[in-house]
Amino acid sequence: MYTDKRGVATRDQILRQAIRLFAERGYEAASIRHIAHDAGVNYAAINYHFRSKRQLYLTAVAHVLDRGRKRADTLLSPHDGRQSCKSLARWFDNCLMDGRTRNIEHELVIRGLLEDSEVRQLVQDRLLSPLVERLSTIVVEIYPKQSAREAASRATAIIACCMCASYQRLLWNQKHRSTWEKSPIRVMFRALVSG
Has residue 41 been placed in a domain? Answer: no
Q: Are 23 and 105 in contact (CB under 8 A)?
A: yes
Reported as a single tens digit per residue, the pLDDT across 25-77 is 999 999 999 999 999 999 899 999 999 999 999 999 999 999 988 888 888 87
Has residue 7 been placed in a domain? Answer: no
* Structural domain boundaries, residue 141: 58-194
Has residue 28 been placed in a domain? Answer: no
Has residue 136 been placed in a domain? Answer: yes
Has residue 1 been placed in a domain? Answer: no
Identify the CATH number of the domain in which residue 138 sits: 1.10.357
Q: What is the pLDDT of residue 102?
A: 72
Q: Between the CA of residue 158 and those of 47, 62, 85, 86, 139, what are the distances in Å?
A: 39, 22, 12, 14, 10
CA neighbor of 60 nearest in space, from 25, 98, 87: 25
Q: What is the pLDDT of residue 113?
A: 87
Q: What is the pLDDT of residue 73?
A: 84
Q: Between the CA of residue 23 and those of 101, 107, 114, 168, what are the distances in Å?
A: 11, 5, 12, 16
Q: Are 38 and 61 in contact (CB under 8 A)?
A: no
Q: What is the pLDDT of residue 175?
A: 47
Has residue 94 been placed in a domain? Answer: yes
Q: What is the pLDDT of residue 174?
A: 45
CA neighbor of 11 nearest in space, from 69, 60, 65, 58: 60
Has residue 173 been placed in a domain? Answer: yes
Q: Which residue stretches of the chain have pLDDT < 70?
A: 1-3, 78-82, 96-100, 170-195
What is the domain count for the chain? Answer: 1
Has residue 26 been placed in a domain? Answer: no
